Structure formats: structure tokens, C-alpha cells
């Protein structure tokens, strides 16, 4: 098999990089877009505000712009290995973008069910451009997921939502990378929660990193749902979840148990943040040069809440996951910003407009 490698660096893509820690063999055809290896950026502003050492795992820099690619490379590779010819997923947007891209690369048919009117434009564009069969349903994500589960049971089509165990396996590699970058585990790990697959994956990753001797400790795991879509916090499914952060507009998370296990056994917690707080953190991150989508800002908003609750010990090491890229949702980005002003194509008026004249 041809192996793709970047000159002078470790093997590319999470499967080659963590081959011995994933359920793969030499027979597994590796379908990759060189996902993973995303930056862990130190945030000076947040570190100062939190009186802690705050690191941001910028997952928006994966090939399709979200963390989903880590799980999708493995889910699609295993689907090909098992002889599948078609995959299906329900999605609030990012899963479908990723599934469409990786299915396209593997030559598989990809079907996608999305909740009507609640998928950001960039994500929809991705699924369409990669040739997925995209169907909008008159219902929310939870209903879409139930329908795809039924489809996968009745027909020879592989479900690639995070109920597919290979998704979680792939996504755990982000925790490996954090431990590798820091040379240790963080003290606190903070992230948004929707369907709860990712927090389940990180917790598994941190535990495996410790077992492998890469770290001596485990972080406290904190997950944040949007207030209007916070079933785990409320302790019961939410029939009609509502939030501006459409990626996490989920009322009955598939990995509910994984999330509560991660928070409870690590001494962390699952809490909620208001839409207003999500938007504020979204803007703050953008000011710091980090364009993320709204759902991604829920983790940072959550970190601020932890600080208010006195749950951020001075000087501790914190990692916060920025799950998706801001370009996914251009409508939202533009809605809150001033429109460019039209000026004559002459230096004078331009300088005047910029208060330089
Ligand atoms: C940017 O794409 O559920 O708790 O269908 O897109 O693992 O679900 C997306 C979820 C956070 C929540 N941030 O992660 C989908 C989907 C972003 C996301 C989450 C999602 P999980």
C-alpha cells in the first residue's frame, strides 16, 4: 500500500499516527484526509482572566472544519473494510459534512438526514458539494437519528453517527495529542456537549493515555450544554431543544451515559450556559484571532462559569476544545457585524473613513 507522509514528520492522519491504539489491522484500508494534528494554542487573554494556564485545542482546523473528521476517518475506513457500499447519518451539520467528504474519498454512497432549517449554511454546502444525498426532515436531530438507526437496521447501510463505536475510537486521539503537546494531562478539560460522543471519546483518550504511561494524572471533565438544549443537566430528554448554537441543538444525546460517566468519575460536571454567554465568548475568541462556530464557544463560556463558581484553582492547566470552524456559519458571523461601507475608489475618502486623513 502507498503510504502518504509529510516530509520530515510523523505519519499523517490519526489512523497511521495512532495505529497501535486503534481497532485497525494491516488489512484496514485507510481512508484519510490527514485529519488530526491540530494546534493546541495558548490563550493569553483567557489565562489572565482565569488566573490559570489555558490551552485551546483548535479542532476547526481539521480537513472538513470540525473534530468529526477524527471519528469519520475510522468509521469510513472500517465500513470499507467490512464491505459496506453506503453510509447514513443524522446530523446537525458537521457530521454530515465529514461523512460526505470521507464517503466521497472512499467511493461510498452517503445519505444524510438533517433537521429542517437548523443546519448552518457552510455545513450544508459541504454535504452537497461532496455529493451526499441530503434530505431535510420536518423534525429535529433526535428524530432524524432515530430514523437513521431504523434504516441501518433494516438495510445494508452503515450508520456513521457516534453510536458507531469507531467514531468514538477515532475521536479519542484528540486527548492523545493534548497529552503529547503538554507532556501531561490537563487539570481541567472543558468542552461543549451535544450528542455527547466527543466528551465520551476524550475521557477514553485520557484514560488510555494514562494507562500507556504518557501521563500520570487524569483531568476533571466538564461538559457544557446550551441552556435550551440541556437534557443531561435537567435529567430528562428535552422534546423541543432550542439554542442559537445549532450544532448542539440536541434533546436526547446518544452518549448520555458516556458523558455522565466522564464527569462523575473524573470529579467534573455537566452544566449549561446561556445563548447570550455563548455569543459573548464567540466574539471574544474572534477578537483573539480564533474564528469558531457558536457551539464551540460554549466550552469557553463554560470555563468562565467554572471560574465564577470557584472551580478553577489558581495556576491550574486547562484545556478547552474549539470543536468547529467559524466559516461553517457565515450567516451568523455577518449578522452580528457591521457591514462594509462603500467608499469611492480613491485614497482620500478611504483615509478619511479610516480616520487617517
Ligand atoms: C461544532 O454534526 O451532533 O457532544 O450531527 O458540531 O460529540 O455531539 C455535532 C456536534 C460540538 C457536540 N461542537 O459534540 C452533528 C453533531 C460542534 C458540533 C458538538 C457538535 P457531541
Establish how many alpha carbons lie within 13 A of residue 181's alpha carbon, considering only the half-sphere containing its beta carbon: 21
What dihedral angle (degrees, nearest 10) is formed by the CA atoms of 11, 16, 22, 28? 180
Q: Ligand 1 centroid vs 72 CA: distance in angstroms?
A: 13
2 pLDDT more than 80? no
Q: Which atom of ligand 1 is nearest to the CA of 223?
A: 4
Q: What confidence tens digit (pLDDT) does each residue in 98-153 have?
A: 999 999 999 999 999 999 999 999 999 999 999 999 999 999 999 999 999 999 99
For residue 41, how many other CB atoms are within 10 A of its CB?
Answer: 16
**What's the rounded mean pLDDT across residues 340-350?**
95
**What's the rounded mean pLDDT across residues 42-51?**
98
Nearest CA to ligand 1 atom 12: 194
Q: Which atom of ligand 1 is nearest to the CA of 259?
A: 4
8 pLDDT more than 70? no
For residue 357, how many other CB atoms are within 10 A of its CB?
Answer: 10
Average pLDDT value over all residues in the chain: 96
Residues with CB under 6 A from ligand 1: 66, 91-95, 162, 192-198, 247-248, 293, 295-296, 323-324
Q: Ligand 1 centroid vs 302 CA: distance in angstroms?
A: 16
User: In the structure, what pLDDT confidence band is assigned to residue 4 with cuts at 50, 70 and 90?
Assistant: low
φ and ψ at residue 135, rounded to 5 degrees = -120, 130
Cell digits for 140? 429535529
Q: Which atom of ligand 1 is nearest to the CA of 90?
A: 5
Nearest CA to ligand 1 atom 10: 247
Q: What is the pTM of this model?
A: 0.96
Q: Ligand 1 centroid vs 66 CA: distance in angstroms?
A: 9
**What pLDDT does 69 receive?**
98
Name the more confident of 2 and 137: 137
289 pLDDT more than 70? yes
Three-state DSSP at 306 gives helix
User: In the structure, what pLDDT confidence band is assigned to residue 337 with cuts at 50, 70 and 90?
Assistant: confident
Q: Ligand 1 centroid vs 290 CA: distance in angstroms?
A: 18
> What is the chain's Cα-based Rg?
20
User: In the structure, what pLDDT confidence band is assigned to residue 1 with cuts at 50, 70 and 90?
Assistant: very low
**What pLDDT does 3 receive?**
55
**What pLDDT does 357 receive?**
77
Q: Ligand 1 centroid vs 340 CA: distance in angstroms?
A: 32
Rounded CA separation 124/283 (Å): 23
CA distances from 281 to 154, 293, 301 (A): 43, 10, 6
CA distances from 3 to 24, 32, 41, 150, 289 (A): 15, 11, 29, 37, 34
**What pLDDT does 162 receive?**
95
CA-based end-to-end distance of the chain: 62
Amino acid at each position: 500500500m502507498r503510504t502518504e507522509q509529510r516530509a520530515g514528520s510523523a505519519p499523517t492522519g490519526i489512523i497511521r499516527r495512532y495505529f497501535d491504539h486503534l481497532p485497525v489491522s494491516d488489512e484496514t484500508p485507510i481512508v484519510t484526509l490527514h485529519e488530526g494534528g491540530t494546534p493546541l494554542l495558548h490563550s493569553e487573554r483567557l489565562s489572565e482572566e482565569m488566573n490559570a494556564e489555558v490551552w485551546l485545542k483548535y479542532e476547526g482546523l481539521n480537513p472538513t472544519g470540525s473534530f468529526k473528521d477524527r471519528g469519520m476517518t475510522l468509521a469510513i475506513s472500517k465500513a470499507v473494510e467490512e464491505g459496506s457500499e453506503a453510509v447514513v447519518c443524522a446530523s446537525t451539520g458537521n457530521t454530515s459534512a465529514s461523512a460526505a467528504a470521507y464517503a466521497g474519498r472512499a467511493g461510498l454512497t452517503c445519505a444524510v438526514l438533517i433537521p429542517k432549517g437548523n443546519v448552518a449554511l457552510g455545513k450544508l454546502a459541504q454535504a452537497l458539494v461532496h455529493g451526499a444525498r441530503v434530505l431535510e426532515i420536518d423534525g429535529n436531530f433526535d428524530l432524524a437519528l432515530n430514523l437513521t438507526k431504523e434504516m441501518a437496521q433494516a438495510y445494508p447501510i452503515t450508520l456513521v453517527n457516534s453510536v458507531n463505536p469507531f467514531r468514538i475510537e477515532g475521536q479519542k486521539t484528540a486527548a492523545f495529542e493534548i497529552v503529547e503537546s503538554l507532556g501531561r494531562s490537563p487539570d481541567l478539560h472543558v468542552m461543549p456537549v451535544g450528542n455527547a460522543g466527543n466528551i465520551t471519546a476524550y475521557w477514553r483518550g485520557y484514560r488510555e493515555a494514562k494507562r500507556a504511561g504518557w501521563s500520570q494524572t487524569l483531568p476533571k471533565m466538564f461538559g457544557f450544554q446550551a441552556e435550551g438544549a440541556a437534557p443531561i443537566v435537567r435529567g430528562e430528554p428535552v422534546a423541543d431543544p432550542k439554542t442559537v448554537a445549532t450544532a448542539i441543538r440536541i434533546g436526547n444525546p446518544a452518549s448520555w451515559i458516556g458523558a455522565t460517566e466522564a464527569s462523575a468519575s473524573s470529579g467534573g460536571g455537566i452544566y449549561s450556559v446561556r445563548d447570550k454567554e455563548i455569543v459573548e465568548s464567540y466574539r471574544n475568541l474572534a477578537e483573539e484571532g480564533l474564528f469558531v462556530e457558536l457551539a464551540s464557544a460554549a466550552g469557553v463560556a463554560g470555563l468562565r462559569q467554572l471560574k465564577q463558581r470557584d472551580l478553577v484553582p489558581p495556576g491550574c492547566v486547562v484545556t478547552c476544545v474549539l470543536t468547529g470552524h467559524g466559516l461553517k456559519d457565515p450567516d451568523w458571523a455577518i449578522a452580528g457585524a457591521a457591514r462594509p461601507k462603500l467608499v469611492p475608489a480613491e485614497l482620500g475618502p478611504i483615509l478619511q473613513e479610516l480616520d487617517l486623513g
